[in-house]
Amino acid sequence: MTTPFTRAIVIVLDSVGIGELPDAPLYGDAGSNTIGNIARRVALAVPTLRNLGLDRIAALGGGVTSGAPAAAVGRMAEASPGKDSVTGHWELMGIVLDRPFPVFPHGFSPEIIGEFSRRAGRGVLGNKAASGTEILDELGPEQLRTGSLIVYTSADSVFQIAAHEGVVPVPELYRACEIAYELVAEGLGVGRVIARPFVGAPGHFTRTANRRDYALPPAGETLLDRVTSARLPVVAVGKIDDLFAGRGITRAIHTASDDEGMDCVEREMGQLASGLLFVNLVDFDTQYGHRNDVEGYARNLERFDARLSTVFPRLRDGDVLIITADHGNDPTTASTDHSREYVPLLVAGKQVRGGADLGTRSTFADVGQTLAELFGVGRLAHGTSFLQEVAQVFRPARHP
């Protein structure tokens, strides 16, 4: 099948879930509803997202906007076990895992920590599951005094290393992460090692934009691999490059904030002739979800909504814009971890049938399969394409 599309823009709103999945209680996430629970506490002014049809699938408050939505609208369930960013993003690009990444709710073994400390040349503090901001308050002063590395994990499959930039230079922290990657990612199958540098004084520590993720390479062929093999560009914005270990990406742009991420979207839309622009906006998760900051999360949704309104005039005839998420992170619950939720599926563009009902998709991989059909790169192992449901007309795609 030929299509009118030559360029795809996929924006992942990191952690913007829209309601608990049926298996959420198995993950301790019964009642989680990131957007819905925020909207119950804070009046959300998101007119652009409402116009696209988000209010059809998420409880935004204030009823449903009259008239047909501007986008094709649906929601997606996660087929893979787990609720972390790697699993969610991999599934979006066509990989459905049959088992979750290992987690370490009680910390890592003394043998692993001892070997890591020996090879890194520094002591270790923490080694437990903890909130990233709370552990800085607890152990940051001791880290400043001793120069030891703060190691912690969460409900996700992560080995996180925090250190003050004035005590442990960022390049040294990165080297420590590479050591940890060999020990726990390659050795134990942990999904990610994350560098968490911070600055400031006790009581006023803040994490910096020098975060870096060291993820396992994808466990199979992804849509990104297919697109780059077809000699089409894949531009990754935000932490996408880290989540896919750099694979299937022609150019990576790391960002310090969601605003900077949207700046990149607008700039790349003016420069990228064809191919895939794949964007992660992580502040929803790191700045607000993990910190249970309901008001901050709401205001970030509103900032994104305002920025999104400036994207639409930049869409070309051959563009398809997909807005979705990778998991939830409900800031209204006692937990500071990710939550097992449905994610939104909003598909827009000049050649997209506004108001098309995409229903409830059984896997995030439907996005990857749709893009595989759009770019003509062959079927992926998982997912069902919804391209025929959203495309208004079909004509030969023209890739320069």
User: What mean pLDDT do residues 115-133 have?
Assistant: 96
DSSP string, 291-354: TT-HHHHHHHHHHHHHHHHHHGGG--TTEEEEEE-S-B--TTSS--S-B-B-EEEEEE-TTB-T
Please state the pTM of the whole predicted model: 0.92
What mean pLDDT comes out for the span 165-189? 98
Amino acid, res. 359: G
Give dist(CA 60, CA 109) in Å, integer.
Answer: 44
Q: How confident is the model at residue 14 (pLDDT cuts 50, 70, 90)?
A: very high
- pLDDT 10s digits, 70-87: 999 999 999 999 999 999
> C-alpha angle with apex 258: 203 to 141, nearest 5 degrees?
15
Strands 7-13, 72-76: pairing is: unpaired
Q: Does 332 have pLDDT greater than 50? A: yes
Residue 394 reports pLDDT greater than 70 = no
Q: Delineate the domains of the chain, giving CATH numbers in brackets.
A: 7-97+219-390 (3.40.720.10), 110-215 (3.30.70.1250)
Backbone angles phi, psi at 307, to 5 degrees: -65, -35
356-367 pLDDT, tens per residue? 999 999 999 999
Extended strands (E) in the chain: 7-13, 72-76, 124-129, 149-153, 158-164, 192-199, 206-207, 212-215, 234-237, 251-253, 275-281, 319-324, 343-348, 357-361
Instruction: Name, in order, each residue with C-beta under 8 angstroms of 108's C-beta and a sequence gap of 6 or more.
Output: 127, 151, 153, 159, 184
Give the residue-averaged pLDDT of 267-290: 96
pLDDT of residue 62: 85
Q: What is the CA radius of gyration of the chain?
A: 21
Q: Would you call 101 helix, strand, or coil by DSSP?
A: coil
Lowest mean pLDDT among 56-70, 118-132, 322-336: 56-70
pLDDT (tens digit per residue) in 207-230 = 998 999 999 999 999 999 999 999
Which pLDDT band holds residue 392 (cuts at 50, 70, 90)? confident
| Angle ∠(122,128,132) on CA atoms, nearest 5 | 85
pLDDT surpassing 80 at residue 306: yes
Q: Is the pLDDT of residue 128 over 90?
A: yes
The least confident of 55-64, 104-113, 121-130, 180-189 is: 55-64
* 154 vs 1, more confident: 154
Q: How confident is the model at residue 393 (pLDDT cuts 50, 70, 90)?
A: low
Helix or strand or coil: residue 208?
coil
